[in-house]
RNA sequence: GCUCCUGUAGCUCAAUGGUUAGAGCAGGGCACUCAUAAUGCCUUGGUUGUCGGUUCGAGUCCGGCCGGGAGCACCA
């Protein structure tokens, strides 16, 4: 089976990352880890988009060279991924020479194939903002607002990609490939956008007088390549496309890696860039239908019902949350409280609840009480096979049902349902303790065998939980296993899960609270700590 | 303006056209003591936005209205 190739959007390096960036990368990371755990080779690519007008402007304002400016912002991103445990195989930088060479090679090929042409168009241009304006920039009265300053009509030459030649193919492709976009309902919007269009091509250049911070067009030095074309190509340039021709080394073998199994993106960049520009670009480059990648479109985290935006001042900083609730605590919340593809509401209160009640009270406390009793009554030694009863059978069935249902849920991006499956074990095990009351069994010598069985069932159940939740909480699940005195065997796969991970006579470790309770001072929930 | 999605418990969401619309969390009560003031059991809570239609039967299908959201190709 070919490697599972997963990418994320590459983030625009004009500001520091917020919770939305973090969500997307964690989502992709969880899927990558799940696939690995499922025994599949994985190539996980993320990165940053460092080109573009905004970057050039911001760098100027900061009095810095663009490269220095983007390097600094990029460091914020990579530091956050390090902190959150986002473990990628490669990190795309659009200013990196190997990437630039591939972009130029593609442009050359398309140019030679007659897919690009130069044309002149008139438009409204804001002198102050140094950009062309579209009808969307018009106010209610149909005029351009004061924020644009002086607006003049200007004619400008640019290079265009003959996107319109591929639209009919794209419509057919989308209709005949319901898997192309997940969730499927978003394909409607794309088809709709295509229907309403009138053969407009894609502008892929900016004159050098206006924008220098970009990749020069190899066939016309007066222009640089503009944004989407350059950015989208990262998905193939970093996968080894045209590596030989461009003299790029150290990259994967493109033929075995492509197509991407998942381009994980936000709904804001589905149409037009990923659903229209990207497949038509690939098609123009000669990619077949079988080599069109799949799009996984996630929703947004709103804040109290409204969009997160700098102007509203409600931007959530993932760094602070990870400090308060641990990186894995944040990952857990981000994966559990949203259904992939849909929006969710970010809530300090729910995050606090997820951490304290579910992770602390549910999972952490289960581990702690189980280990405490095992150590107190049996010096942490697991003894198997001396006793069995219906209550034990029932717990075993829950575990088996959970790890049976789990892979399907995860495979179909229903991460929150995968977590739910694992959580059935946590809930059942806590109930199991109430039913069996090992602390009472310990007082009765005649119940010794039953106590052994109970303690064994708890430890074994926790070992399973530590595997199932590993993609979501890699650090904490590692700690669970440490406390259990158990490590994942080499090349352990999900399909290796079975009742009986812990051997007879296994020595458990000592328990320490995994998720120490987070106390909040005010009634504003976690806000007090999360946003000082 | 055009197109599409959506409206179910305080919150997040389930319910192939088929019993009395369910779960988790939050709220309330009780129990327990191994544990991180944890856990378990019980429980409150609904005119499924609204008006009509189709049907033996509608949360589900159709239409109107009201509310929420999204998309509509040089905008990253």
Q: What is the pLDDT of residues A81-122, one digit of tens each?
A: 999 999 999 999 999 999 999 999 999 999 999 999 998 888
Quick one: CA dihedral A428, A430, A433, A435, positive or negative?
negative
Residues 175-204 of A with CB under 7 A from strand B: 185, 188-189, 192-194, 196-200, 202-203
Q: Which residue is nearest to nucleotide B73 (CA to C1')?
A: A272
CATH number of A348-517: 1.10.730.10
Residue A167's nearest nucleotide, by CA–C1', is: B73
Averaged over A320-325, what is the pLDDT?
A: 91
Residue A137's nearest nucleotide, by CA–C1', is: B75
Averaged over A425-434, what is the pLDDT?
A: 94
Report the candidate in A45, A42, A44 with the shortest Cα–Cα distance to residue A93: A45
ipTM confidence: 0.86
Mean pLDDT of chain A: 88
**What is d(CA A305, CA A308) in angstroms, rounded to the nearest whole number?**
9
pLDDT value at residue A250: 95
User: Which bases along strand B come within 7 Å of a protein CB atom?
Assistant: 2-5, 11-14, 25-26, 32-41, 69-76
**Apex A335 CA angle, A330 and A341, nearest 5:** 135
**Residue A275 tokens, joined:** 């659903």
pLDDT over threshold 50, residue A237: yes
Q: Is A219 helix (H, G, I), strand (E, B) or coil?
A: coil
Averaged over A147-159, what is the pLDDT?
A: 81
Helices (H) and strands (E) in chain A, counts: 21, 16
Q: Which residue is nearest to nucleotide B3 (CA to C1')?
A: A192
Question: Within 7 Å: CB of A337 and strand B?
Answer: yes
Task: Give distance CA A43 / C1' B25 (Å).
Answer: 36
Residue A350's nearest nucleotide, by CA–C1', is: B25
Averaged over A312-323, what is the pLDDT?
A: 80
pLDDT over threshold 80, residue A461: yes
Task: Give distance CA A431 / C1' B29 (Å).
Answer: 19
pLDDT over threshold 90, residue A137: no
Q: To the nearest whole percent, how much of chain A has pLDDT over 90?
A: 60
**What is d(CA A152, CA A429) in angstroms, rounded to the nearest whole number?**
70
pLDDT value at residue A309: 61
Task: Give distance CA A451 / C1' B1 (Å).
Answer: 72
Q: What is the pLDDT of residues A348-393, one digit of tens each?
A: 888 888 899 899 999 999 999 999 999 999 999 999 999 999 999 9
- The runs of H, that is alpha helices, within A3-140 are 19-37, 53-61, 66-84, 97-112
Task: Give distance CA A329 / C1' B26 (Å).
Answer: 20
pLDDT value at residue A193: 78
Residues 465-494 of A with CB under 7 A from strand B: none
pLDDT over threshold 90, residue A304: no
Task: Give distance CA A350 / C1' B26 (Å).
Answer: 10
Q: What is the pLDDT of residues A66-90, one digit of tens each?
A: 999 999 999 999 999 999 999 999 9
Q: What is the pLDDT of residues A28-46, one digit of tens each?
A: 999 999 999 999 999 999 9
**Apex A287 CA angle, A228 and A278, nearest 5:** 20
Which range scores top for mean pLDDT: A270-274, A337-341, A395-399? Answer: A395-399
Task: Give distance CA A525 / C1' B32 (Å).
Answer: 29
Residues 284-313 of A with CB under 7 A from strand B: 307
Residue A269's nearest nucleotide, by CA–C1', is: B76
Task: Give distance CA A336 / C1' B20 (Å).
Answer: 32
Q: Is A153 helix (H, G, I), strand (E, B) or coil?
A: strand
Question: Within 7 Å: CB of A368 and strand B?
Answer: yes
**Apex A168 CA angle, A162 and A172, nearest 5:** 140
Q: What is the pLDDT of residues A334-352, one digit of tens each?
A: 998 888 888 888 888 888 8
In this structure, what are the phi and psi dihedrals at residue A63, rounded to the nearest 5 degrees? 70, 35
How many Cβ atoms are within 10 Å of A506's Cβ, its own excluded? 19
Residue A432's nearest nucleotide, by CA–C1', is: B40
Question: Within 7 Å: CB of A433 and strand B?
Answer: yes
Domain residue ranges of chain A, discontinuous segments joined by +? 348-517
Residue A345's nearest nucleotide, by CA–C1', is: B12
**Residue A515 tokens, joined:** 């998720």
Residues 64-123 of A with CB under 7 A from strand B: 121, 123
Residue A228's nearest nucleotide, by CA–C1', is: B76
Task: Give distance CA A432 / C1' B40 (Å).
Answer: 9
Question: Within 7 Å: CB of A339 and strand B?
Answer: yes
């Amino acid at each position: 089976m070919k490697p599972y190739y997963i990418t994320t959007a590459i983030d625009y390096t004009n500001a520091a990352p917020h919770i939305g960036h973090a969500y997307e990368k964690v989502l992709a990371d969880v899927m990558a880890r799940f696939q690995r755990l499922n025994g599949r080779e994985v190539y996980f690519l993320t990165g940053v988009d460092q080109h573009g007008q905004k970057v050039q402007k911001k760098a100027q304002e900061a009095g810095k060279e663009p490269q220095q400016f983007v390097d600094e912002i990029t460091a914020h991103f990579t530091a956050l991924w390090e902190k959150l445990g986002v473990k990628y195989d490669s990190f795309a930088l659009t200013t990196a020479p190997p990437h630039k060479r591939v972009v130029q090679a593609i442009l050359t090929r398309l140019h030679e194939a007659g897919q690009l042409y130069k044309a002149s168009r008139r438009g409204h241009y804001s002198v102050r903002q140094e950009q062309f304006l579209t009808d969307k920039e018009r106010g209610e009265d149909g005029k351009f607002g004061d924020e644009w300053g002086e607006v003049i009509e200007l004619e400008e030459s640019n290079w265009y990609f003959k996107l319109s030649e591929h639209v009919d193919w794209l419509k057919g492709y989308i209709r005949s490939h319901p898997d192309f976009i997940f969730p499927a309902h978003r394909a409607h919007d794309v088809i709709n956008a295509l229907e309403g269009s009138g053969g407009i091509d894609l502008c892929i250049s900016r004159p050098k007088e206006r924008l220098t911070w970009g990749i020069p067009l190899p066939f016309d030095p007066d222009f640089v390549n503009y944004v989407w074309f350059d950015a989208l190509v990262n998905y193939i340039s970093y996968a080894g496309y045209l590596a030989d021709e461009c003299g790029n080394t150290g990259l994967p073998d493109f033929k075995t890696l492509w197509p991407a199994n998942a381009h994980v993106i936000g709904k804001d960049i589905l149409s037009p860039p990923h659903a229209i520009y990207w497949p038509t670009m690939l098609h123009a480059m000669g990619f077949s239908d079988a080599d069109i990648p799949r799009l996984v479109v996630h929703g947004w985290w709103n804040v109290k019902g409204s969009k997160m935006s700098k102007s509203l001042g409600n931007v959530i900083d993932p760094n602070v949350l990870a400090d308060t609730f641990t990186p894995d605590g944040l990952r857990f919340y981000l994966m559990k409280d949203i259904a992939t593809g849909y929006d969710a509401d970010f809530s300090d209160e729910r995050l606090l609840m997820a951490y304290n009640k579910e992770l602390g009270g549910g999972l952490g406390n289960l581990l702690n009480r189980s280990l405490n009793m095992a150590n107190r009554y049996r010096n942490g030694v697991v003894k198997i096979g001396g006793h069995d009863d219906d209550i034990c059978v029932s717990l075993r069935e829950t575990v088996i049902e959970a790890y049976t249902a789990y892979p399907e849920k995860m495979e179909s991006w229903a991460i929150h349902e995968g977590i739910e499956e694992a959580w059935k074990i946590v809930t059942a095990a806590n109930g199991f303790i109430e039913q069996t009351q090992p602390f009472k069994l310990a007082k009765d010598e005649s119940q010794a065998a039953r106590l052994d069985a109970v303690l064994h069932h708890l430890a074994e159940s926790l070992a399973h939980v530590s595997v199932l939740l590993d993609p979501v909480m890699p650090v904490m699940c590692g700690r669970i296993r440490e406390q259990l005195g158990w490590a994942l065997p080499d090349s352990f796969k999900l399909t290796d899960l079975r009742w009986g991970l812990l051997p007879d006579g296994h020595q458990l470790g000592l328990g320490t609270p995994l998720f120490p309770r987070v106390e909040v001072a005010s009634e504003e929930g976690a806000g007090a700590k999360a946003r000082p």
